[in-house]
A = this chain, B = another copy of it.
Amino acid sequence: MVKADEERTKAATIFDVARLAGVSHQTVSRVLNDLPNVRQATRERVERAIRQLRYVPSPAARALVTRRSRTIGLITTGPSEFGSSTTALFFNEAAREDRYAVIMASLLKVDGATLRQAAETLVRQNVEAIVLITSNRSTLGLLQSMDLGVPFMAVVSQGSELHRVSLDQYAGARRAVRHLIELGHTEIRHIAGPAESMDALERVRGWRDALGESGLVAAEPIIGDWTAASGYAAGRQLAGDRFTAVFCGNDQMALGLIHALTEAGLSVPADVSVVGFDDIPEAAHFSPPLTTMHQDFAQLGRDAMNVVLAVLSDDQAPNPLSRVPELVERASTAPPR
């Protein structure tokens, strides 16, 4: 650990700038905040002084008086997954571009107490908004009912009365299943994510509706937990059954499923077609390369920041944004034999 430079001259304040520029501190403040009614010459003199002293205003002082912090609180839940962490990454990038700082509260496990504590910490830090990235239904419910006193938005696939951005899980799932139906499959099983997950529920719904529209019956879905291990377990459970295709709640479970199927002597896609969800970067190199639904998590993160900005500036609630995932056909699907 490198120690701080003890001899560092104390950072310049607005008064230092004012003295150097030969004006009052208020005039400096005006220049800082781009207020009108400052003569061009004065403005330039002040700006020169600012540069010369390498002056940067203190966020603490500013936050104290304005009660705004140019800071946003970001809550995420669950282990580090490709989707949520990519969304968070791009949210952070977008926020930085708009000169907002992001205070992060990643909760591995969510319970009421921790969540409340995390949210309150954020509020105390004067965050101007709180953004939640989760697929967990109860987390959303808890946070919504908390009345934080701060604008709140969520990156989630359900919930109409709150402002949010999302990727359309329902439409994506329907598209995936339609693909299998178009190939001629009729016995299409589903490995779902956990029941608390709103995304999982939406995908189940899309799967069921797509089957229903084609007059096909939906067998009970198998519940996994998003991990490859749970997909593998599901595959072993499924191996004896009669089916020709599986729609998986995500790519990891598809990977585990394929593993189990292969072990059971079934070939993908010759015996069983498999479709995943997310299009994680590895999916193209599974064996076989996985057909899956591509989701644009980067754009989702940017969307989230845009909604925050919109609400923060003019109180206008922009229309809930929902992008539809796209089918990426690779080698794990084929017509049934």
Binds B, one of A36-44, A173-181, A193-201, A281-289: A281-289
Which of A205-213, A214-222, A224-232 lies on the face that meets chain B? Answer: A224-232
Verify A287–B262 contact, CB threshold 8 A: yes
With A228-B284, A317-B1 given, is the CB distance from A106 to B126 under 8 Å? no
**Chain B CB within 10 A, most for which of A86, A104, A126:** A104
Nearest CB of B to A50, in Å: 14
The reply on A135 being an interface residue by CB < 8 A is no
**What are 21 A-B contacts with C-beta separation under 8 Å?**
A1-B153, A1-B163, A2-B144, A2-B151, A2-B163, A4-B148, A58-B64, A59-B126, A60-B63, A71-B125, A92-B105, A93-B107, A101-B125, A103-B104, A104-B104, A229-B281, A232-B285, A258-B285, A259-B286, A259-B289, A287-B287
**A261: shortest Cβ distance to chain B, in Å?**
10
Tell me, yes or no, whether A121 is within 8 Å of chain B by CB.
yes
Range for the number of chain A residues in contact with chain B: 35 or more
Task: Point out the residue from B1, B58, B86 that lies within 8 Å of A124, measured CB to CB.
Answer: B58
* A34 interfacial contact with B, CB 8 Å: no
B92–A282 touching, CB < 8 Å: no
When each residue 276-306 of chain A gets 1 if its CB lies under 8 Å from chain B and 0 otherwise, what string results? 0000011011110100000000000000000
Chain A 79-106 per-residue mask, 1 if CB under 8 angstroms from chain B, else 0: 1101001101110110010010111111
Contact A151 B60, CB 8 Å, known A93-B108, A104-B103: no
A118 interfacial by beta-carbon distance below 8 Å:
yes
**Which residues of chain B come closer than 8 Å to A315, judged between CB atoms?**
3
Known A-B contacts A60-B63, A125-B101, A317-B1; A85 and B92 likewise in contact (beta carbons under 8 Å): no
